[in-house]
């Protein structure tokens, strides 16, 4: 006899069966373990990952111990959602959670990696909400969800643990700040709160070191990004209301004055409608776009177009997109459902035919983060309650919108075997392979520096754009930081002339140039020439990012996890394996620099410093604040004004110390994906008996690096 | 034959049946309609409401038209939660959402009434997250949920509406601020997002006017709060580390100098452990608590004890509470499950025996809001993922913790037929009947004034405490605001001496008094004496709050909804029916005052002003910035130094204008609930032919108001 079970009891038993569901443990790639309990969301970061893991490179990494035993990861499921508990040892420090602005060392904090355009007050909100963290114990944890997730990083105790805490504050406190001081940093868990989830899905990236775990994460994501080589040169963005003639004049200005530039960016008004976007050239300002593209090309300047995805009724694709978009508008425009299949095709095809095929080199993808979650009155984004034809909800769409938008737009370049370098305002996890920098409307210099370090923990690249400044000193310091970053951008979207001719916004737009404009221009030229000299080294670091997963820009703790003195050092970072950058914020004349193990050379003064100590270092406005590790052979190019596939670099190798361990250069065409099929060379640099040697290996057809000089420091 | 249905299909069909569920419409009380779709949460505000609606008073309100047709309320249910759509006409303005700090007129904003101890940046976060708003069209909407809810107040358009908006910003914008200016205020809906909900449950409070809708809300909640009469006098809070002797000295200081005071508050260190709390007297600081209580009583001073609910292992009730608490600790203390039945009984019984029975008059219930949601690094609250034995989750517990805590603590007073007046840092909806003010650790004077107006929209009372000041002027302005509020509090928890002897915190604690301390003391005495004179009028306004639901403190738009000039006026408010308060913020010497319809008298200068115009008004530091409506008979008492059940008030009636419409006084013992059983009187005040008349009606045993003088203004 079959007994009839009333409905509520069935539901109850279902809930219980979810809660009691068994843990599944699966090996995903060498050193990557996945722990799953319950249902995995359809729109999880892993499900949206389109790249294949570089398993071969992963298998070459040192065999890892176990940073976290998968069986010690505990998932609770209840009516509210999923709760994941991950062990945290007393001596571990943790880093990550995407493009964090306000904090670096994350233990003891509540972190909410939720996408936001203006991440104030250090809540964990960010342009790039990566649910990934790394531990100094040598492992990484990725929570595979696109939902709004909260990480309690050793902040909370359960009653059952019955551990007496140092409550820290207490009755002796005589101020509000004292009362609420955070001292609860001894808890033995990271607790992850995922409301709405029906499962917990955790990827463990093993070490043995923090760096190895990070490498595995980047390789699992498809390997680090490989930008077009020209992308490492200067991008200069024109004022928002510029016309075609203004662009021509600006190109002439740059070339006449020998200021290097590779890319010009055009702002909203290149379109016939923007906010929302038409994706159609504005005939008043740009009557002859193809002429523009071609004339710029002739001067060695690529064009980057600003846009966002919210599609105006004035756009030719509005009609086709209408049924493949979310149910709420943004700025009266459609929100394309990039999580489906229809909208990406319409959107990409249109862009291919209209722009990519005609020579537009890259895009700046704006507003793909969520509008301000930390201020009350600026609401422009689609609400979290939005629904999309693909089935994704507004919350998960927000978290993934940048990633999906990038994938849609970059697919055209991949299909055409063209590389590029985008700018974008949001990305999620597993985005290491995306050749794009992130940028922000915020403008606190110290936070801009911190984001360089933090981006490296999450497979992200950050661009600390230079806009206006309060004085010449700040302008130069900001330029230095931008030159020591993944992309060097002067974003003059509200400045008529370059800021080095007039840093003050009002005066700049009135045409009142600085009395000593030419002198400042000279300093900026010197700084930009450093960047152009540095590109071969930087490009080689990117190649290592691609093939081995080592981020070209990374916090000191990645390379020196055993040195506790670097745990809080967010304002210095490694570029490649041999260069330590220590940018000066605001209008500083000097700063404290901590140097890790070994000896280091001030690049400017050539003075040598012993490591594991701090120094106060002065850096001139026309110098670049970097330190070179003893043993380095640093290849620096004679600066060129822009980079083409046939550009040859005249290299001088600087040899630091008496027993250099060598150096390397990576060589390919810089613009196609042919390197993936083996069309590249490496140039090994070595120094013996007072003589340098460059040893070229590989099968790229042309020698791009001419090693001319060797200089012993 | 019974067909076996595989589990997933059953679940699917269940989900579908929820989504398609019919709308239920039910009349809850005169002019209160409930619209429900799907399941109602067990811990909804309505389910937690313990008071009975005052239906008789509601039925006496004018018959209402229909502000919102229940059938026009649309509820969508999906896997993510519930979405409620409520119509919003183009000409409506809306107000409410609890104790909002940063904004007043709410149309065009995204509001998140989520409980928070430090509601920065005008996100809608608040100490008192009431999911209730009022429209100038004459209705109120209450969303019956304790979940974190977002209201889009006319900010967003659906694609299907296909309305062209004025996008406002756009390509012409030349600044970030311009770009994101909020101009999307034409949408015809309030959209409510309730993630996690399985139903939408809406209470419509009909008008016909906004004021009537508000009255219905307060009456439905059990009628407005009726504090103990002594609660309307001054509360002075002692420094955190005060000892018994310090309290004695302070009492002597107040009485010797004839500064009125009714309540002394003791801060954390009265307890043997705090942060978390033991609820046990600290024998070092207070060796003889009963002597303290009795000596204070002899001087006419009640004692208020600070506490929070997080129960220390050092507390005698820790053991009993352990199994009736949440699974996470706060400051190493238990979080009692006040939503169950066990914890409230243990907690209340202990407090009754230890404090209430021994003469403690009231409590300050701290930290019952959530720790900072708008700053990243101060995490002390229990996480939202917490679970409680009653079944409530951490999110809903946060929203309701203040309400449940208050109910637990106040139950002792109700059972003993004693009234009180508490301070608390969080309340939810339907809390109109709770005799407690809310307070905050924030300290922006203009926000403190705005909260007086905003609290009135949601059945809340707000106390703009005076703490430190930058100068004497600010001190006096803050004192004026506190005197023109529901409770007058000087909170000196970090000041050794009263701030009028030294406003500067550091100097105060070093014992360096102001050279002119006695002069400032005199001014403050003058101001406090105004408060004591004003109490009979104010108490009568509270009686009307209780019986008719008219808040004693309310924004001008409540009384003048037809006057669009008051829609943005948040820094003026009505006290009772006849007094308009216009506090001066910070160190202002004068301010602009808009006066609505009719003629108004400056209380200080007796000058008459015609309404529907703005004036610049100066107010001296020892004056109180109020305006009296023409036609008012204002009863002012000769100031007493404290209020007892047998205190008699010598009244002078001020007659404003030639044709006064009368006045009233409410009379009872001021300390019991006997008035609810009819033990009260009302004194009607009238003026005819140049003579005043006081007409006493009712059956309270004693005449407390002696109407002595009549003064024609």
Q: Residue B328 and residue A379: Cβ atoms within 8 Å?
A: no
B159/A494 touch (CB, cutoff 8 Å), yes or no:
no
pLDDT in tens, A309-321: 999 999 999 999 9
Q: How confident is the model at residue A173 (pLDDT cuts 50, 70, 90)?
A: low
The two three-digit tokens of residue B630, written as one number: 């023409």
What is the Cα–Cα distance from B549 to B57, expressed in whole angstroms? Answer: 9
Nearest to A332 by CA among B152, B88, B158: B158
ipTM for the whole complex? 0.91
**Band of pLDDT at residue B480, cut at 50, 70 and 90:** very high
Q: Which residues of A touch B393 (CB under 8 A)?
A: 78-80
What percentage of chain A carries pLDDT values higher than 90?
A: 89
Lowest-confidence segment of A58-72, B26-40, B447-461 by average pLDDT:
A58-72
- pLDDT for B261: 98
Q: Do A329 and B393 touch (CB under 8 A)?
A: no
Whole-angstrom distance, CA of residue B115 vs CA of residue B131: 11
* Predicted local confidence at residue A179, as pLDDT: 64
CA atoms within 13 A on the CB side of A561: 20
pLDDT in tens, B76-101: 999 999 999 999 999 999 999 999 99
Q: B15 to chain A, minimum CA–CA distance in Å? A: 11
Model pTM score: 0.93
Which ranges in B134-209 belong to alpha helices (H)?
176-179
The 10s digit of each residue's pLDDT in A434-475 is: 999 999 999 999 999 999 999 999 999 999 999 999 999 999
pLDDT, residue A121, reads 86
Interchain CB contacts (distance < 8 Å): A and B: 231
pLDDT band at B179 (very low <50, low <70, confident <90, very high): low
**Antiparallel, parallel or unpaired: β B626-629 and B681-688:** unpaired
pLDDT band at B181 (very low <50, low <70, confident <90, very high): low
Token representation of residue B550: 């008219």
Residues of A in contact with B179 (CB under 8 A): 275
Contact (CB, 8 A) for B675 and B704: no
Count, residues in chain B: 713
Is A14's pLDDT higher than 70?
no
Query: What pLDDT does A171 receive?
Result: 45
Read off the pLDDT of each residue in A162-170 and give the average, rounded to a whole number. Answer: 45
Chain B residues close to A111, C-beta within 8 Å: 376
Closest CA to A256 of A267, A264, A248: A248
- Which residues of B are less than 8 Å from A108 in CB distance? 377
**Residue B479 to chain A, least CA–CA distance (Å):** 21
A508 contacts in chain B (CB < 8 Å): none
Q: How far is CA A24 from the centre of its chain?
A: 32
Q: Please report the pLDDT score of residue B14 as a whole number.
A: 38
Asked if residue A208 has a cis previous peptide bond (ω within 30° of 0), the answer is yes
pLDDT digits (tens, 9 = 90+) for B311-360: 999 999 999 999 999 999 999 999 999 999 999 999 999 999 999 999 99
pLDDT at position B172, please? 53
Q: What is the pLDDT of residue B65?
A: 74
pLDDT of residue A67: 85
Q: What is the mean pLDDT of residues A477-490?
A: 98
pLDDT greater at residue B173 or residue B312: B312
B167 or B259, greater pLDDT = B259
- List chain A residues with CB under 8 Å of B102: 376
Among B4, B383, B395, the residue with its CB nearest the CB of A156 is B383
If you average pLDDT over residues A279-289, what whole number do you get? 98
Which of A160, A329, A377 is opposite residue B109, by nearest beta carbon? A377
**Cα–Cα distance for residue pair B57/B223, rounded to 1 Å:** 9
Question: Mutating which of A271, A373, A377, A509 best tests the B interface, going by the most B Cβ atoms within 10 A?
Answer: A377
Mean pLDDT, rounded, for B537-550 = 98
**Section B657-680 average pLDDT:** 96
**How do residues A376-403 score in pLDDT, each as one tens digit?**
665 689 999 999 999 999 999 999 999 9
Share of chain B above pLDDT 70, in %: 93
Average pLDDT of chain B is: 93
Nearest CA in chain A to B318: A159
Contact B123 A169 (CB under 8 A): no
Q: pLDDT-derived band of residue A177, with 50, 70 and 90 as boundaries? A: low
Question: Which of A108, A241, A328 lies nearest to residue B157, judging by beta carbons?
Answer: A328
pLDDT value of residue B185: 52
Look at residue A305 and tell me whether its pLDDT is greater than 80.
yes
- In contact, A561 and A211? CB cutoff 8 Å: yes
Residue of B41, B380, B397, B440 to mutate for A, most A C-beta atoms under 10 A? B380
Residue B169 pLDDT > 60, yes or no? no
What is the tens place of the pLDDT at every residue in A19-36? 457 999 999 999 999 999
Judge whether residue A371 has pLDDT over 50.
yes
Give chain A's mean pLDDT: 93
Question: Quick check: B78 and A393 CB within 8 A?
Answer: yes
**What pLDDT is recorded for position B35?**
98
- Please return the burial class of B168, using the count of CB atoms within 10 Å of its CB with bins 0-12, 13-18 and 19+: middle
For B420, the 3-state DSSP assignment is coil
Lowest model confidence (mean pLDDT) among A218-227, B34-43, B167-176? B167-176
A92-102 average pLDDT score: 97
**Chosen from B385, B491, B506 to mutate, greatest number of chain A CBs within 10 A:** B385
Cβ–Cβ of B379/A110 closer than 8 Å?
Answer: yes
Count of helix runs (H) and strand runs (E) in chain B: 15, 32
Q: What confidence score (pLDDT) does residue B120 get?
A: 86
Instruction: Classify residue B284 by burial, with Cβ atoms within 10 Å: 0-12, 13-18, 19+.
Output: exposed
What's the CA gap between A339 and A685, in Å, rounded?
46
In tens, the pLDDT along A208-267 reads 999 999 999 999 999 999 999 999 999 999 999 999 999 999 999 999 999 999 999 999
For residues B521 and B501, is the Cβ–Cβ distance under 8 A?
yes
pLDDT band at A160 (very low <50, low <70, confident <90, very high): confident
Cβ within 8 Å, pair A275-B179: yes
Cross-strand bridge partners of residue B365: B307, B424
Residue B342's CB is within 10 A of a number of other CB atoms, namely 16
Mean pLDDT along residues B640-657 = 97
Q: What is the pLDDT of residue B159?
A: 87
- Is residue A16 over pLDDT 60? no
Tell me the angle at which helices A244-256 and A289-298 cross, rounded to the nearest 10 degrees: 0
Pull the structure tokens for residue A201: 């899905």
Q: Which pLDDT value is given to residue A180?
A: 61
Q: For helices A210-220 and A517-548, give the axis angle rounded to 10 degrees.
A: 80
């Amino acid at each position: 006899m079959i007994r009839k079970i009333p409905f509520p009891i069935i539901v109850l038993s279902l809930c219980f069966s979810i809660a009691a569901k068994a843990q599944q443990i699966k090996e995903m790639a060498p050193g990557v373990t996945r722990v799953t309990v319950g249902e995995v969301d359809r729109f999880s970061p892993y499900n949206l990952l389109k790249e294949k893991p570089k398993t071969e490179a992963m298998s070459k990494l040192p065999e890892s111990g176990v940073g976290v035993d998968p069986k010690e990861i505990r998932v609770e499921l209840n009516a509210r959602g999923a709760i994941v508990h991950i062990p945290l040892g007393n001596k571990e420090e943790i880093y990550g959670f995407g493009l964090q602005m306000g904090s670096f060392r994350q233990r003891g904090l509540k972190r909410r990696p939720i996408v936001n355009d203006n991440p104030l007050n250090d809540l964990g909100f960010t342009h790039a909400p990566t649910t990934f963290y790394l531990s100094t114990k040598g492992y990484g944890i990725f929570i595979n969800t696109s939902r709004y997730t909260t990480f309690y990083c050793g902040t909370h105790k359960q009653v059952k643990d019955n551990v007496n805490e140092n409550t820290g504050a207490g009755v002796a406190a005589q101020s509000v700040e004292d009362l609420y001081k955070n001292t609860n940093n001894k808890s033995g868990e990271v607790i992850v709160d995922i409301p709405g989830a029906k499962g917990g899905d955790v990827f463990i990236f093993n070490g043995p070191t923090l760096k190895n775990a990070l490498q595995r994460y980047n390789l699992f994501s498809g390997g680090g990004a490989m930008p077009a080589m020209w992308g490492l040169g200067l991008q200069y963005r024109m004022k928002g209301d510029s016309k075609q003639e203004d662009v021509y004049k600006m190109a002439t200005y740059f070339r006449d004055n020998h200021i290097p530039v590779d890319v010009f960016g055009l702002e909203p008004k290149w379109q016939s409608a923007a906010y929302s976007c038409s994706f159609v050239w504005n005939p008043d300002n740009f009557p002859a776009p193809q002429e523009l593209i071609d004339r710029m090309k002739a001067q060695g300047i690529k064009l980057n177009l600003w846009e966002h995805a919210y599609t105006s009724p004035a756009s030719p694709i509005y009609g086709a997109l209408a049924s493949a978009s979310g149910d709420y508008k943004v700025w009266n425009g459609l929100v394309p459902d990039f999580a489906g299949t229809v909208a990406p095709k319409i959107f990409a095809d249109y862009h291919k035919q209209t722009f990519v095929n005609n020579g537009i080199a890259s895009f700046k993808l704006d507003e793909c983060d969520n509008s301000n979650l930390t201020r009350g009155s600026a609401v422009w984004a689609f609400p979290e309650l939005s629904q999309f034809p693909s089935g994704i909800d507004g919350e998960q769409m927000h978290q993934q919108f940048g990633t999906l938008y990038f994938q849609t737009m970059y697919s055209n370049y991949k299909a055409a075997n063209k590389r590029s370098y985008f700018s974008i305002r949001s990305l999620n996890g597993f985005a290491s392979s995306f050749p794009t920098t992130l940028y922000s409307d915020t403008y606190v210099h110290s936070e801009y520096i911190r984001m360089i370090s933090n981006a490296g923990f999450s497979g992200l690249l950050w661009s600390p754009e230079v806009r206006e400044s309060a004085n010449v000193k700040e302008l130069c310091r900001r330029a230095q930081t931008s030159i020591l970053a993944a992309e060097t951008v002067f974003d003059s979207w509200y400045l008529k002339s370059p800021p080095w001719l007039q840093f003050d916004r009002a005066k700049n737009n009135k045409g009142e140039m600085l009395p000593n404009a030419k002198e400042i221009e000279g300093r900026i030229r010197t700084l930009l020439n450093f960047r152009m000299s540095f590109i071969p080294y930087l490009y080689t670091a990117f190649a290592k990012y691609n093939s081995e997963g080592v981020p070209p820009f990374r916090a000191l703790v990645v390379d020196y996890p055993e040195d506790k003195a670097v745990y809080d050092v967010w304002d210095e970072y490694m570029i490649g394996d041999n260069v330590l950058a220590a940018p000066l914020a605001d209008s500083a004349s000097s700063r404290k620099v901590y140097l890790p193990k070994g000896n280091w050379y001030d690049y400017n003064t050539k003075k040598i410093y012993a490591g594991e100590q701090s120094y106060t270092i002065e850096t001139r406005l026309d110098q670049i604040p970097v330190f070179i590790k003893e043993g380095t052979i640093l290849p620096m190019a004679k600066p060129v004004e822009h980079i083409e596939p046939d550009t040859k670099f005249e290299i001088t190798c600087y040899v630091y110390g008496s027993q250099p361990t060598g150096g390397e250069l990576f060589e390919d065409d810089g613009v196609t994906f042919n390197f993936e099929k083996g069309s590249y060379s490496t140039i090994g640099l070595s120094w013996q008996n007072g003589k340098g040697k460059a040893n070229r290996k590989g099968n790229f057809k042309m020698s791009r690096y001419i090693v001319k000089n060797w200089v012993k420091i």
